[in-house]
Amino acid sequence: MAKAPQRHRARWRHEVASFGYAIQGIREALLSEPHLRFHALATAVVVALGAWLHVSRHDWALLALAVGAVWAAELMNTAIETIIDLVSPDFHPLAGRAKDVAAGAVLLMALAAGVVGLLVFGPPLWDKAVALNGHP
């Protein structure tokens, strides 16, 4: 009977540790990947702009999904590039193709996130610009 709670605790510790590994992976990627640092800066700008414009909860949800998708795509791209560098340290056309496709996925997601940003921030920024120019 005592084995079940011990197994449960061991599993729980393993699950908690896996979060630590995930956070470590994000940290390592931030330290080694300039594009991810750019995404971190862009995330800070999105959060600051959203706070300044007092966007709705719905808009925050859209922004969070867009930002999270870009981060996830960039992290997957980094993982793919790392694996390719491990298994194919010399140039190979298929390795290059895989890297290009993974980078293309990041670009596509970043463009989609940009569209979300324009749709969410465009109207309130336009309203502020019009108000600054003295128009009703």
Give the alpha-carbon dihedral of 84, 88, 94, 98, to 10 degrees.
10
Q: Is position 54 annotated in a ligand binding site?
A: yes
Q: Is position 21 annotated in a ligand binding site?
A: yes
Q: Is position 81 annotated in a ligand binding site?
A: yes
Q: Is position 100 annotated in a ligand binding site?
A: yes
Q: Is position 15 annotated in a ligand binding site?
A: no
So which residues are the catalytic ones? 74
Q: What DSSP element (H or E) covers 55?
A: none
Sorted by sequence, the CB contacts under 8 Å of residue 29 that are 6+ apart come out as 36, 74, 75, 78
Q: Residues comprising the binding site for ATP?
A: 21, 33, 81, 99-100
Q: Residues comprising the binding site for substrate?
A: 52-55, 74
